[in-house]
Amino acid sequence: MTKLHTQSEWIARARDILPAGGFGNFDPGIVISRGAGSRVWDEDGTEYIDYLIGSGPMLLGHSHPEVLEAVFEQLPKGQTFFANNAAGIELAEEICRAVPCAEQLRYVSSGGEADMYAMRAARAFTGRDKIVKFEGGYHGMSAEAQMSLAPAARVNFPQAVPDSAGIPQSVADEMLIAPYNDVAYIRSLLAEYGGQVAGLIVEPLQRIIPPAPGFLQVLRDECDRYGIVLIFDEVVTGFRFAYGGAQELYGVTPDLCTLGKVIGGGFPLAATVGRADIMAHFDKSVVGPEGWLMQLGTLSGNPVASVAGLKSLEILRREGQYPRLRGLGEQIMNMIHDALGPTGLPYHIVGDATLFEVVFTSQTPQDYRAVQAGNASRSKLWNETLRHHHIFKSPGKTYPSLALTQDDLSMTEAAITAAAEALVVAS
């Protein structure tokens, strides 16, 4: 077989065999060849500074030497066993030490699975069926999660809009959708339906939107009032916002939370964690066959991902890592302000120093609809210009990593300046 050398050849080959020409994740118009530290290279050898970092898990950068050493040490001992292994047990212990809500843990392979099982556990624990989620909140690919993630139609709350074909109407009937950051609405919703609601699932920082002051505490209080399981989806924020995640940073403890990305050190690993009395539903000997929540997975807690996660968490515990990460994010945010401020164009940098994005709008976005109301053509030009200047990122998020160097920051600043200039020319 003739070896393909150009990116365009790989793209053409992908179109023949993959629906929409891709894996369903990122832009199929780019094929990544390799990554090292803060950089990635495509199949044509073009080098980029990586602010996508695998959609979040590569917080330490690509191919961190200490993580690789741990993985290489494990590989000759076996890749996976479908049985307990010491590294997985040790990692579970460390996660439960770090995360405020975590008393027990059950592994899966993806964040979406973790969210699915968290919602199912809430139903098993309460004996109720309804789940509350927030419009625009991302919780994986389960039928429940694919309700009002990115609805094209603006319907009245709490009606759920399926984002995917193939989902029965019966699923939508058990989902209640609320606007994020709207305290009055969530109180009124739960006053009507609270006795039927098993769980309320929320990203503490919804995509890029921070919680309004006191909003998460209101959720905690209302869930306590109605006996609802409060679930924080910390697949993104866990071990990124702080070592104990967003619940440590914001000071609100849920009943369950879901983790992924960082805990696997770049390998497939995620977990549902939380209160022992809820997690007991994974143990038939405790809750009996009627209350048992069956869960298994071929690669759940596999030793390669576990040793990568253990080493990653060890590195994150070292002095100064989180202040440095936040400092890097703040520098980039300041670059954006310095470049866009003089243009006079309306914009807001939305998010946290560890995860943020520019939204071209005059109003501070508080929910999904406000973000969607931003100027999409300016966002498109902004991101296209950054890509042209070798910045690799999602159109909707910027992920700083601890691998960023001063050279990276200088190149990033030049790219941001160019992007701002392109917006001025287009305006």
Residue 407 annotated among the catalytic residues of the structure = no
| 85, 301 contact by CB (below 8 A) | yes
What is the chain's percent helix, strand, coil content, to nearest 5?
Answer: 45, 15, 40
The CB density around residue 43, as the number of other CB atoms within 10 Å, is 18
At 227 the three-state DSSP class reads: coil
- Give the Cα separation of 409 and 403 in Å (integer): 11
As to burial, measured by CB atoms within 10 angstroms (0-12 exposed, 13-18 middle, 19+ buried), residue 169 is exposed
- Give the Cα separation of 138 and 411 in Å (integer): 31
- Give the Cα separation of 364 and 221 in Å (integer): 26
Sign of CA dihedral 49, 55, 59, 61: negative
> What count of residues does the chain have?
427
Residue 163 annotated among the catalytic residues of the structure = no
The CB density around residue 299, as the number of other CB atoms within 10 Å, is 17
Tokens of 372: 């969607």
Which helix (H) or strand (E) covers residue 35, if one does? Answer: strand 32-36
Please identify which of the residues 130, 133, 261, 393 carries the catalytic annotation: 261
Q: What angle do CA 223, 225, 228 make, to 5 degrees?
A: 35
- Give the Cα separation of 166 and 200 in Å (integer): 24
356 phi, psi to nearest 5 deg: -160, 175
130-134 and 175-178 beta bridge pairing: parallel
272 phi, psi to nearest 5 deg: -105, 130
Please identify which of the residues 51, 117, 138, 250 carries the catalytic annotation: 138
Residue 261 annotated among the catalytic residues of the structure = yes
Residue with tokens 């995620």: 270
The CB density around residue 207, as the number of other CB atoms within 10 Å, is 20
Residue with tokens 């990305």: 261
Please identify which of the residues 50, 182, 233, 255 carries the catalytic annotation: 233
Q: How far does the chain reach from its first CA to its final CA, in angstroms?
A: 50
Q: Please tell me whether the peptide bond between 158 and the residue prior to it is cis, using omega within 30 degrees of 0.
A: yes
Catalytic positions are 138, 233, 261
